[in-house]
Amino acid sequence: MKRRDFLRSTAVFVAGASVSISALDFIDPKELLAANPELRWGFLVDTYKCVGCGFCVKACKLENDIPYDANVTRTWVERYVIKKDGNVVMDCPKGARDGFTSKLIDQNASGMLAVPDDEIAQAFFVPKLCNHCTVPACVQVCPVGATYQTADGVVLVDRTWCIGCGYCIMGCPYGVRFFHPVEHVADKCTFCYHRISNGGNTACAQACPFGARKIGNLKDPNDPVAQMILNQRVGILRDEYGTKPNVYYIGLNKEVR
């Protein structure tokens, strides 16, 4: 090979390799449209309003046929007690299905912990549910395409397609997925897709007497939930994972994990 040919083909190769694969990708107009739809479901939790009654957990379990006494739930409420000495204790008996009715903090194997009233600096309740992330880790790890994100942003599981491998249960940084003991598939909060798609509210938000839970359309600037997220100081859980969650919290403490 002559030096001239060598230089020429090297230049062609480098130029060709520098064109990224995505530049050659055919752009599907449907895909572009889905990235900017009119509807994107989002959720707002006000932890000041939550009193830990657990009506949301009960309503969710009954509404979505989650075995009532099995130790699985799509949504749950955590109690955080911050003591004056800085220690934090937390519990969530039965996912708060029956609410918080005792001052004793359930420490599982270590038994019930009594915190004297005058040692409590702060105590509050934090409802948890699927964050329906914009970049859902659980969907990326599914080997069969059984879990997916709809165009309006809800992450669902196809029960006929799930093979029950459990990767998504491991992959979720928020621990919201579980193995359904009856259906034998991975299960998770659907934002009550059957209710919100038909003009209703989620079962948990509807059952909440205090308005601590609200669902809304983040793409609609006039939506009350979108407005509150825009205008108030809200936080999200585990920002560092980069999953871009869509459940926003008012009054989120650093102690909340």
Partner 1 sequence: MKNHVWRPLFVVIGVVIAILLFRSVYVPSDFGSQELGYTFGYHRLSNEQEWKDFPAEYKDTEYCNECHDDKVEELRGAQHAMIPCENCHGPALSHPDDPEKLAINTSRELCIRCHAKLITPSSGREDIPGIDPVEHNKGEECSECHNPHNPSLEDM
If you search the block for the tokens 């480098």, which residue do you land on? 14
**Three-class DSSP category at 20:** coil
Q: Which window, 3-11, 116-124, 213-221, 229-237, contacts partner 1 (CB under 8 A)?
A: 116-124
Binding residue for partner 1, selected from 39, 90, 206, 236, defined by CB under 8 A: 206
Q: By C-alpha distance, which of 39, 29, 243, 32 is closest to 152?
A: 39
Tell whether residue 112 is a contact of partner 1 (CB under 8 A).
no
Tell whether residue 197 is a contact of partner 1 (CB under 8 A).
yes
Binding residue for partner 1, selected from 40, 41, 52, 213, defined by CB under 8 A: 52
What residues between 127 and 156 interact with partner 1 by CB under 8 A?
Answer: 135-136, 139-140, 145-151, 156
Tell whether residue 160 is a contact of partner 1 (CB under 8 A).
yes
Tell whether residue 190 is a contact of partner 1 (CB under 8 A).
yes
Buried residues in 203-213 as b, exposed as e (16+ CB within 10 A):
bbbbbbeeebb
Tell whether residue 33 is a contact of partner 1 (CB under 8 A).
yes
Asked if 149 and 139 touch (Cβ cutoff 8 Å), the reply is yes
Tell whether residue 231 is a contact of partner 1 (CB under 8 A).
no
Tell whether residue 90 is a contact of partner 1 (CB under 8 A).
no
Please state the closest distance from residue 92 (CB atom) to partner 1, in A.
Answer: 15
If the CB atoms of residues 159 and 257 are measured against partner 1, the closer one turns out to be 159
Tell whether residue 217 is a contact of partner 1 (CB under 8 A).
no
Asked if 208 and 56 touch (Cβ cutoff 8 Å), the reply is yes
Buried residues in 106-130 as b, exposed as e (16+ CB within 10 A):
beeeeeeeeeeeeeeeebbbbbbbb
CA separation (Å) from 201 to 47, 190, 248, 249? 19, 12, 17, 18
If you search the block for the tokens 């657990």, which residue do you land on? 54
Tell whether residue 121 is a contact of partner 1 (CB under 8 A).
yes
Binding residue for partner 1, selected from 47, 75, 243, 246, defined by CB under 8 A: 47
Beta-ladder partners of 235? 249
Task: Name the pairing type of β-strands 186-187 and 178-179.
Answer: antiparallel
Tell whether residue 6 is a contact of partner 1 (CB under 8 A).
no
Alpha-carbon dihedral angle through residues 222, 223, 226, 232, given to the nearest 10 degrees: 80
Binding residue for partner 1, selected from 125, 167, 174, 178, defined by CB under 8 A: 125
Residues that bind partner 1 (CB under 8 A): 28, 30-31, 33-35, 47-55, 59, 62-64, 98-103, 117, 120-125, 135-136, 139-140, 145-151, 156, 158, 160-161, 190, 192-195, 197-198, 200-201, 203, 206-207, 209-210, 212, 251
